[in-house]
Structures are given as C-alpha cells and as structure tokens.
Structure 1
Amino acid sequence: MLILLPPSETKRVGGEGPALALDGLALPSLHAVREDVVAALVALSARPDDAARVLKLGPRQRDQIAVNAGLRSAATMPAMDRYTGVLFDALDAGTLGDAERAWLGRHALIHTAPFGPVGVLDGIPSYRLAAGASLPGVPPLRRAWVGPVTQALTAVDAPFVLDLRSEAYVALGPVPPAAASAYIRVVSDDGSGTGARALNHFNKRAKGELVRALAKNAPVIASGEDLLAWAAAARVDLRRTPDPRVWHLVV
C-alpha cells in the first residue's frame, strides 16, 4: 500500500540533517521539476517585495522570504517531523517507535509544493509555498507537477493507494486512473448509514489518527478489501461510497 499525505502550512524550524539533496528524495524521476521549482523560489526570494506579493505574505510573514532564500543550505529534518498542525499533531510521529517510523518510510509520501511527493523520512528544510502558487520563470505549480507526479506514481510498485491529500494537492498529481485507490473524505454519521456530512477540523485529525493506527499495526494491505478488513478489526469506520474511488472515514 502507498499512503499519500498532504503537507501543512505550519512547520518546525531548524533541524539537524544535512542540506537539501534533491537527488536523494523519493520518486527520483521528479528531479528536473524539483530543480526548476526550487531555483524559481530561491530566485524570487532575492526580490522581497515581489516574493511577498507572489506568496501572499503579510508584514508579519515576511521572515518566510529569508527561509525560502536559504532553501538549498538550511538544515533538514524528516518530512513527517517537519510539519505541525492538526493532522501531524495527531500522527505525532516523534513518539512512534523505530519500526513504526520505518513502516511509514516504506509506505507513505507527503505531497509538498516545492519538492512534489517526498518520503516521510526524506530530509527537507522549512519553506513557504502553497499549492496554488505561480512562481516567475516556471509554469503554475499545477501545470508543472501534474503530469510528472502522476507518471511517477504510476511507476511506484504499490497494489493499492490510500489518498489522504486535500483537493489542492490532488490537483498537483492525481492518482493514476488505472490504480486501485481510495480517496478519503472524513464525514460525520448523519443517521442515514452513509455518513454524509463533511468535516473540516476533524478531517485533519482523523486522517492523522488513521495513519498513526496504520503505522502501529503495520498491516499488509494489497487491496481495498484488505483495508476494510483491517479497519473493521481496528474499529476504524471506513465505508465505501457509490463512487468506487471515494471512501468515507466516519467519525
């Protein structure tokens, strides 16, 4: 199974890892796009006023321009430790054991705006860039990433894809149409048995808790049926919907 996670706008600063090595990230076929996007972001950071406008930064956020300027030389940390916010607080990767972290390292990617999908154990620096950005010198991120990311995911040897990304990041590289997959929407049970009321804050927390449970159980999942069987045993309320590629996580 391959798990696709969204990033978070909030991130931890610093790190103890070496500088960013784009050629060491997961999905190496994305290297050329990564180089182009990172170069454009660093170049933009040399023009603070332009950077603030393009990245939609307020006066109190302009320190993020310097963060982007140092993208290539800043210290790194594993991607799943870099991000904070509701989903990653629920995942609480820092309290997972070595075996659990290693399981996630084999099965999960975080879809970032500047680097595309990266392994959860890949070292990345802090940065500021949203999925909808358009950087001078490169196509809008949706156009830059969509084809290469979907092609890279096609090459991953995973019989089933669990897609927990937000729609903004799905737009940067949908799961290949031929892949067996489930896009997860978090809903509350409205009494109808289908769980139709979508949630926002609890959406992120539920996804983080789901990934933590998977890491701790380390199940072998090669199909949707395997995932449903694991969920039933783990008391996770996952339900299919009329759309075979969209599932509900009911909380």
Structure 2
Amino acid sequence: MKTIILLPPSEGKADGGDNKPLKSVSGITADLIEAIKEADPQKLYGLKEKALEKAITVNKELLSSKTMPAIERYTGVVYDAIDYQTLENKSEFDEKVLIVSGLFGLVSPTDLIPNYRLKIDKLKAAKSWLNSNSEQLKDKFVIDLLPQAHKKAVKYENGIAVEFVLKKAEKKMPAGHQGKHIKGRFVRWLIENNITDPKHFKDFTEKGYTWTGEVFLKEV
C-alpha cells in the first residue's frame, strides 16, 4: 500500500514564476474562481489596505500569471523546515507528499501553480473537494499532518493523524507556531529515512518531542 503524507499549503507564497500560465482550469477549481469573483473581498480575505489590494490582484491574474512548482510556491514555516532544496531524495518527497489546497485540491510538489489566495474554510472549498480528494486517497496509507480546517477536505480509510502537543504543569495544548516548524522537520525525517510505518515514529526525538503512540509530546 502506497504511503501518502498530507500537508497544508502555506498562506505565504512566493510571487512570480518561470513557467507558463495555466490559461484555463475546469471542474471545482473553475467553480471556485467564479465564486471568488462574486465574493465580497473583505469577507473573503479578511485583510485591509495594501494586503487586501494584493490578494484581489493575485486572484484576478490567476489564469494569466506565471506558474512555479508548488514546493517552490509555498514559503511558510513548514516548508522552510522541510528545506526541500537540500533533500537528497527529492523524488521520494515528490512521490509521497500531497498538499491540500483550497483552490486546487490535492497538489503534488511538482505541480505548476500560480500565486493565489483562498483559505480552505472559505466559499465551502473544503466541502467541494471532499469527494474528489477522498477518492484519490483510496487504497493509500495516509500520514495526516493537516490542521482541523484542512481535515474537512479529506477522508481516508487507512492512516494516522499526527499532532505535536506541549505539556505544561499537567496541561496539554497544541504546539501552535512552534508545531509548524517541527512538523516540517518530521516530514523531512520521514523522507530521509523512508519511514512509512508509525511503529518507527518513536525514533523521531527532535526538539524534545516524544511519540506516545498517539501524539508527539513535549514537556515545557
């Protein structure tokens, strides 16, 4: 059974690109682009002034702007920690990782995409993608590193959800921003060591996290 690692996209994205524009799209992506055109920008993006203007412009140019591989487009903390460019076995990463995008569904690291702006909890994007995404995950073993909003866009029969949790004075809490970095480091470790079985998660002990059999826990 093939192993798939599910990651969220990053809100931060690189501008530009060296590859041709998409020019046209179909299906759910096309429907969402139409919905973006009709939506109230302030409600859709939750941004103000220059940031709002940029988001509007980026989405207006979706089909005319240059593209780049998704792994280069996404620039957030998780992707910085993965440090894709220094991976020796990039092909293993490209084969196993899928990114759950609000606009494009399940995206491979090598898929060429433009800059865009759409959170998965807007315009019912997660619900729109659920059936299509879930169909693609049939007969796969999933290592799920998704936040709650993105989990609503997928269903899988075989797999494990991985969370990073902090424990302080007997109280447990999500690792938050720090969790994004360790999530990226964990993905890199999975790829570098060709880990596909959760029984080996106990061997990942970076930054003081320990696998309990259910979550990665760190006492602070």
TM-score tier after normalising by the smaller chain length: 0.7 to 0.9
Report the equivalent of 1:104: 93
Does structure 2 retain, via aligned residues, the 8 Å contact 1:38–1:115? no
Please name the residue that 2:115 is paired with.
126
Residues 81, 94 of structure 1: 8 Å contact kept: no
**Match of 1:203, as an amino acid?**
G
Which blocks of at least 5 consecutive residues in structure 2 are unaligned? none
What does residue 52 of structure 1 align with? 42
CA offset digits 1:18-57 (Å, max 9, x no partner): 223777xxxxxxx62122223433x34xx8xx32343222
- CA drift of 1:203 comes to 1.2
One-letter identity of the residue aligned with 1:72: L
Q: SS of the counterpart of 1:150?
A: helix
Aligned to 2:217: 250
Aligned-pair CA distance for 1:234:
4.7
Q: CA RMSD in A?
A: 2.4
Percent same amino acid among aligned pairs? 30
Aligned to 2:146: 165
Aligned length: 212
SS in 1 for 2:163: strand
CA drift at 1:198: 2.3
| Distance in 1 (alpha carbons) for counterparts of 2:17 and 2:216 | 34
Change in 2 beyond 3 A, CA 1:108/1:11: same
- Residue matched to 2:174: 198
Please give the alpha-carbon distance, in whole angstroms, between the structure 2 residues aligned to 1:163 and 1:200.
16
C-alpha distance in 1, partners of 2:24/2:190?
28
Task: Decide whether the 8 Å contact of 2:68 with 2:114 is kept in 1.
Answer: yes
Q: 1: CA distance between counterparts of 2:70 and 2:23?
A: 13
Asked whether the 8 Å contact 2:71–2:110 carries over to 1, the reply is yes
**SS across alignment from 2:11:** coil
- Give 1:212 deviation, angstroms: 1.0
Report the AA paired with residue 60 of structure 1. Answer: K
1:138-183 CA-partner distances (Å, limit 9, x unpaired) = xx223322233223322xx42x21000110011122x22xx22111
1:187 aligns with 2:177: no
The question of whether the paired residues in 1 share the 8 Å contact of 2:164 and 2:174 is answered with: yes
| Contact 2:102 2:126 (8 Å CA) reproduced | no
| Distance in structure 2 (CA, Å) of the matches to 1:18 and 1:146 | 29
- Gaps of at least 5 residues in structure 1 are 24-30, 135-139, 241-246
